[in-house]
Structure 1
């Protein structure tokens, strides 16, 4: 990519999620059409089944909406010593390469559906996880793909201590998800200040800090918090989005800013409203930031 950072979309901002029972799932034509109508020209792929599995058909469909696929969320079990994630990962990397999708957004999955509970990692689990991160990053490179690790609520890498252990124990770049980090107990602006060179991909969220605190305290589940609106349009929550964008810009960040304000939909929203209106509000906020990123394609 050239020309500095750019803005991309993500289907989860329209409630499209891999978790069974997450909520009402919008038709992909509506989602892609609303992305296009908002002036976005790039998107992450969304969960398996949202777009055609064939790389060629997927690219053709995105092309028909003026969109480019720039990355995809890939949850894999990395912490089990007797489980090898490489064969599954290799198939994904091949599909990304054949479809022109550059960024593998890896998550350290627990092995169960959803993000409301997770096991603790022991020493053997940590050795397996950190070793697999290195192996998968090397394998992604063989396919010409970039790989980042996404700290994510309800995965094996959620808390600040876990994020720091990955930073100290591996060289794998991070996906800076401003919402998941905050809910997990990491100040995303502080992470930018101390480790900007490790950030290769960004998911932008704003967060209701009070609801986030209730998730950390175990008072409500993560899914219930999303349903209650823990993620806010940019500028309407407690994340210093402006400071994060400014800090990354000062550090020379050249990657994507992916619009990710996760929602759970109860029903089909009216056309022009619902997720489209919230993404439009977030885009307007970004556009008003001095020196902020611009919506656009691959540069």
Structure 2
């Protein structure tokens, strides 16, 4: 892969989980970003412990050679909360822009069960036609707002949400215009479809509209437990559903080859939420960096 085109980041979620605060509550912001840099990464997404003042945050990252590449944003268009969503988006966009990020990863959280105790594989929300059109119209508008700022909006397909399966991704991409991108997440696609080939098919189909990539591996044995025991998304995470590339079932070499052939330009982000007590964040960051170096040549 072309080192000039691709930057490597890692998400702070392996150190402190914003959705499950007890996971990694002992890990500080400065420890997190220092270990990212020490492991060989040059980018990070934004975590809950990060300073919200862009000047302070940028200084703390600059001295470690780390850039901010993206930060999660929740949308609620299907629920009809267009005004609230857009107002919050403007603040979020300006915060990211000040830090140098140029993509904004959004997740449609209307009816989401990812933060509940409901079984993630059986109880995910299904959008009505009206909810689909509200969501698509909202994302088209966000894209226009971001475009005017020189930024790009993309949807993060996610377990437990109304846009999780391949069919739902297809529906979203069909209803939105080409300026709306996809945040491609290997782990969530494999989790949803239980198929490496389907995961690769989505990558090939939407390459032109993939603006950001999450490299996330999956432990098949935990997925079996989630299925058999009707576990929630968070229960699976705590048991180790996700891990870093090279430590689970996914073969990333075809992913890297497809991106190389396409000449992908942008960030690739290692994002693997685990219990830091069971999976030392720095150790797993080093493991991920070594795997990417050996298999992608980056």
The gaps in structure 1 that reach 5 residues or longer are 295-299
The structural deviation recorded for 1:13 is: 2.1
1:283 aligns with 2:292: no
1:249 aligns with 2:260: yes
Given candidates 263, 266, 271, the residue that maps to 1:260 is: 271
For this pair of structures, how many residues does the alignment match? 284
Show the 5 A alignment for 1:207-246.
207-215=218-226, 219-246=230-257
User: 1:241–1:44: structure 2 CA closer, same or farther, 3 Å change rule?
Assistant: same
> Distance in 2 between the 1:132 and 1:293 partners?
39
The structural deviation recorded for 1:34 is: 0.5
SS at match of 1:176: strand
The structural deviation recorded for 1:293 is: 5.5
> Distance in 2 between the 1:40 and 1:258 partners?
9
The structural deviation recorded for 1:241 is: 1.0
Cα deviations by residue, 1:97-145 (Å, 9 ceiling, x for unpaired): 2222222111111366843455331121111001111011111112222
Residue in structure 2 matched with residue 13 of structure 1 by the alignment: 14
> Distance in 1 between the 2:111 and 2:30 partners?
30
1:99 aligns with 2:110: no
- Of 276-285 and 93-102, more deviation after overlay is shown by 93-102
Given that 1:19 and 1:113 are in contact with CA atoms closer than 8 Å, whether structure 2 keeps it comes out as: no
Q: Could you say what the CA RMSD is over the residues aligned between the two structures, in angstroms?
A: 2.3
The structural deviation recorded for 1:203 is: 0.4
What is the TM-score of this pair, normalised by structure 1?
Answer: 0.87
1:27 aligns with 2:28: yes
Residue in structure 1 matched with residue 135 of structure 2 by the alignment: 129
Given that 1:115 and 1:155 are in contact with CA atoms closer than 8 Å, whether structure 2 keeps it comes out as: no
The structural deviation recorded for 1:21 is: 4.3
Given that 1:204 and 1:260 are in contact with CA atoms closer than 8 Å, whether structure 2 keeps it comes out as: yes
Given that 1:70 and 1:101 are in contact with CA atoms closer than 8 Å, whether structure 2 keeps it comes out as: yes
The structural deviation recorded for 1:28 is: 0.7
What is the TM-score of this pair, normalised by structure 2?
Answer: 0.87
Given candidates 190, 197, 205, the residue that maps to 2:201 is: 190
The structural deviation recorded for 1:195 is: 2.2
Given that 2:217 and 2:245 are in contact with CA atoms closer than 8 Å, whether structure 1 keeps it comes out as: yes
The gaps in structure 2 that reach 5 residues or longer are 119-123
Residue in structure 1 matched with residue 54 of structure 2 by the alignment: 55
1:78 aligns with 2:84: no
Residue in structure 1 matched with residue 121 of structure 2 by the alignment: none
Given candidates 144, 148, 152, the residue that maps to 1:142 is: 148
